[in-house]
């Protein structure tokens, strides 16, 4: 155990003393916030660009009221110029495009005869907006022809909002469901990225020691299994340290934000707010979206998510890192790892796709539940499900399967590691790996 502890300590210190580790630990949160702010800024800037669209209405059905200007789209009536002259002006000028509405005998034919001309491919949002305007106008015209009173139809429209509760009386909302999706997706994606980053770090460390022949000296003092496990645990410890620092930064930011918006974090987390009081708070904070957002975030099981994130990070990382270490031991350089990487990375990618495809729509569906129990995908899919509420017996089953599979994979990888670590000069194949697995020396 003392040798294993020394290996873990060596790997941990080598990792945390690395300048890139220190810089990324403190800069990554700032970079993520900065990138988010930049994307938001660019989206806002993109939406600020005004698009000038002209239209020629030969049907006589539309008016200026049907093409009202918006913040980003301005309409101009070129009906008097005619189709040919309008096309020429748009092609030679700075107009975004031309909408041509022909004269037709039937509304059904008219609905499929309208054309839009532009120098460049128009955006989907612009075309969707135009189609909605035209569809609404033609539908209203048909209703009028059928003898319906449009004013009464408009007056009959009413906005419906269904309040959501569980059987314990706790109220939910569409906003909190959106936050659950976001938190679960971010947690799952972060875990996948860090398993890949730190897993490849273990693999590179093994390759570096193998190619420098230092490994020959090391294995004369410790067993290959101890060396592999020490590398895995050392890198996992460094990863956890980075997560704890990020968690402290997040906690600090949350505390500052909650103080700014006047929300008591401790009180929110230590007690359930009754439904009637929560509704009162929401009404009081109406118009203050920031405060309402903080209230909804604090309703999430933050502590539970954090603890499970740590567990699934360790379990998933150690499961995959054992395979990365085995690959590093089997090859002489990083180029040769490519043939073995995809079978390892594929389950991680599958977990992300399954999570986004199933958990978002039905977090308790059979597919989501199945993949949250399969050890190779459970670290990602289960983390995506946790914000929606997962029973403890499901968590216990998933965690137990992950632990058992991790132990098996460490044993499995160690059989490859102990042979491959001293093999040089030959690019291994899957057949070679199979021989090393069966070797009993």
- Per-residue pLDDT at 280: 45
Q: How far apart are CA 316 and CA 344, in angstroms?
A: 12
Higher pLDDT: 428 or 298? It is 428
Q: How far apart are CA 53 and CA 62, in angstroms?
A: 15
Q: Mean per-residue pLDDT for 423-435? A: 74
Reported as a single tens digit per residue, the pLDDT across 110-124 is 988 999 998 888 888
Reported as a single tens digit per residue, the pLDDT across 390-409 is 888 889 999 999 999 988 88
Confidence of residue 278 (pLDDT cuts 50, 70, 90): very low
* pLDDT above 80 (res 180): no
Contact 66, 79 (CB under 8 A): no
Higher pLDDT: 311 or 46? It is 311
* pLDDT above 80 (res 348): yes
Mean pLDDT, all residues of the chain: 78
- Per-residue pLDDT at 386: 83
Contact 172, 162 (CB under 8 A): no
Query: What share of the chain in percent tops pLDDT 70?
Result: 83
- Per-residue pLDDT at 173: 58
- Per-residue pLDDT at 276: 46
Residues of the chain with CATH 3.40.190.10: 48-156
Higher pLDDT: 226 or 97? It is 97
Q: Mean per-residue pLDDT for 9-18? A: 84
* pLDDT above 70 (res 261): no
CATH 3.40.190.10 fits 48-156, yes or no: yes
* pLDDT above 60 (res 95): yes
Contact 227, 7 (CB under 8 A): yes
User: Which of 130-139, 144-153, 245-254, 334-343 is most confident?
Assistant: 130-139
* Total residues found in the chain within this entry: 441
Q: How far apart are CA 431 and CA 177, in angstroms?
A: 49
Q: Mean per-residue pLDDT for 410-432? A: 75
* pLDDT above 80 (res 40): no
């Amino acid at each position: 155990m003392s040798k294993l502890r020394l290996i873990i300590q060596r790997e941990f210190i080598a990792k945390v003393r690395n300048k890139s580790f220190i810089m990324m630990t403190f800069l990554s949160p700032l970079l993520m916030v900065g990138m988010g702010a930049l994307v938001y800024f660019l989206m806002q800037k993109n939406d600020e660009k005004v698009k000038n669209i002209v239209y020629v209405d030969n049907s006589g059905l539309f008016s200026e009221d049907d093409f009202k200007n918006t913040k980003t789209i301005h309409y101009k009536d070129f009906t008097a110029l005619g189709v040919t002259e309008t096309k020429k002006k748009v092609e030679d000028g700075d107009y975004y495009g031309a909408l041509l509405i022909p004269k037709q005998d039937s509304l059904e034919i008219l609905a499929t005869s309208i054309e839009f001309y532009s120098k460049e491919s128009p955006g989907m949002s612009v075309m969707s907006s135009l189609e909605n305007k035209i569809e609404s106008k033609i539908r209203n015209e048909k209703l009028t022809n059928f003898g319906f009173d449009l004013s009464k139809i408009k007056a009959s429209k009413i906005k419906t909002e269904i309040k959501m509760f569980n059987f314990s009386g706790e109220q939910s909302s569409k906003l909190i469901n959106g936050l659950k999706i976001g938190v679960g997706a971010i947690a799952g994606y972060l875990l996948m990225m860090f398993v890949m980053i730190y897993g490849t770090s273990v693999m590179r460390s093994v390759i570096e020691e193998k190619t420098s022949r230092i490994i020959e000296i090391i294995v004369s003092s410790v067993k290959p299994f101890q060396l592999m496990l020490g590398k895995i645990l050392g890198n996992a410890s460094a990863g956890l340290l980075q997560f704890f620092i990020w968690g402290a930064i997040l906690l600090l930011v949350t505390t500052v934000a909650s103080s700014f918006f006047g929300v008591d974090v401790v009180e929110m987390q230590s007690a359930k707010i009754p439904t009637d009081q929560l509704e009162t708070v929401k009404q009081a904070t109406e118009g203050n979206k920031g405060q309402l957002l903080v209230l909804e975030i604090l309703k999430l099981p933050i502590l539970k998510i954090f603890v499970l994130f740590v567990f699934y990070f360790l379990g998933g990382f150690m499961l995959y890192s054992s395979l990365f270490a085995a690959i590093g031991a089997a090859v002489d350089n990083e180029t040769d790892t490519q043939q073995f990487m995809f079978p390892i990375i594929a389950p991680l990618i599958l977990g992300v796709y399954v999570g986004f495809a199933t958990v978002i729509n039905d977090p308790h569906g059979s597919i989501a539940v199945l993949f949250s129990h399969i050890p190779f995908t459970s670290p990602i899919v289960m983390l995506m499900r946790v914000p929606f509420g997962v029973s403890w017996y499901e968590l216990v089953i998933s965690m137990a399967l992950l632990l058992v599979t991790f132990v098996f994979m460490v044993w499995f990888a160690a059989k490859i590691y102990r042979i491959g670590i001293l093999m040089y000069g030959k690019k291994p194949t899957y057949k070679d790996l199979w021989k090393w697995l069966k070797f009993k020396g």
